[in-house]
């Protein structure tokens, strides 16, 4: 856990980590076999790490009308449009794991239109792509297209928030040269 360079910036983790954070990292290590490098990257400043973790956990693991898989699918589609190395690697692995379908993980990375999707998920990813590329052109028609396949207004918020979060993370990761943990590549293939 002390490997030095998870980004191209010289910003080492605080040492020692606060107890609760160290504990959290230990649990990651135990359950995932790794501590995601993004957490290590933010760990040079607890004031930055804590809100990032809180937002991430609520968004990707909290209550939602979107399944965890669906949120990961959005994560990868956004990251593919932005060609983010870190996020495609890490969240591509998550899609493979949560779906048990390696091909689905590949399709989210390579071209989401190639995946076999039901109309609900197709509408979700179509909206995600649109918000990623041209959010300022969003209209009520775009939101209504989501409502028409069964998404609630709360779900629409969650789709937008997931697109937003990875629009942020992609830029952070690329701007600082963040490196994904090697373990992801071979997982759930």
Positions in the binding site for a second copy (CB under 8 A): 8-11, 44, 47-48, 50-52, 54-55, 58, 62-63, 80, 82-85, 88-89, 102-103, 106-107, 109-111, 113-114, 127, 131-132, 135-140, 143, 153-154, 156-157, 159-161, 163-165, 167-172, 174-177, 182, 185-186, 189
CB of 25 to a second copy, least distance (A): 19
CB of 122 to a second copy, least distance (A): 11
Nearer CB in complex with a second copy: 30/83: 83
DSSP for 131-152, written as a single string:
HHHHGGG--HHHHHHHHHTT--
Nearer CB in complex with a second copy: 30/77: 77
Nearer CB in complex with a second copy: 62/150: 62
Nearer CB in complex with a second copy: 4/139: 139
CB of 134 to a second copy, least distance (A): 9
CB of 23 to a second copy, least distance (A): 20
CB of 167 to a second copy, least distance (A): 4
Nearer CB in complex with a second copy: 22/135: 135
Cα 84 to Cα 23, 75, 169, 183, distances in angstroms: 29, 11, 9, 17
């Amino acid at each position: 856990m002390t490997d030095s360079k998870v980004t191209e910036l010289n910003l080492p983790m605080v040492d020692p980590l606060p107890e609760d954070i160290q504990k959290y990292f230990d649990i990651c290590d135990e359950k995932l076999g790794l501590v995601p490098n993004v957490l290590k990257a933010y760990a040079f400043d607890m004031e930055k790490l804590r809100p990032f973790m809180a937002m991430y956990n609520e968004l990707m693991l909290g209550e939602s009308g979107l399944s965890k898989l669906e949120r990961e699918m959005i994560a990868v589609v956004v990251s593919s449009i932005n060609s983010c190395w870190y996020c495609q690697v890490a969240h591509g692995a998550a899609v493979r794991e949560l779906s048990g379908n390696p091909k689905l993980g590949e399709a989210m990375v390579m071209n989401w239109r190639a995946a076999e999707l039901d109309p609900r998920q197709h509408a979700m990813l179509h909206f995600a792509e649109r918000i990623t590329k041209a959010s300022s052109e969003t209209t009520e028609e775009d939101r209504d297209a989501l409502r028409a396949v069964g998404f609630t207004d709360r779900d629409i918020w969650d789709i937008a928030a997931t697109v937003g979060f990875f629009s942020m993370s992609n830029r952070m990761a690329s701007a600082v040269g963040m490196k994904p943990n090697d373990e992801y590549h071979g997982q759930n293939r």
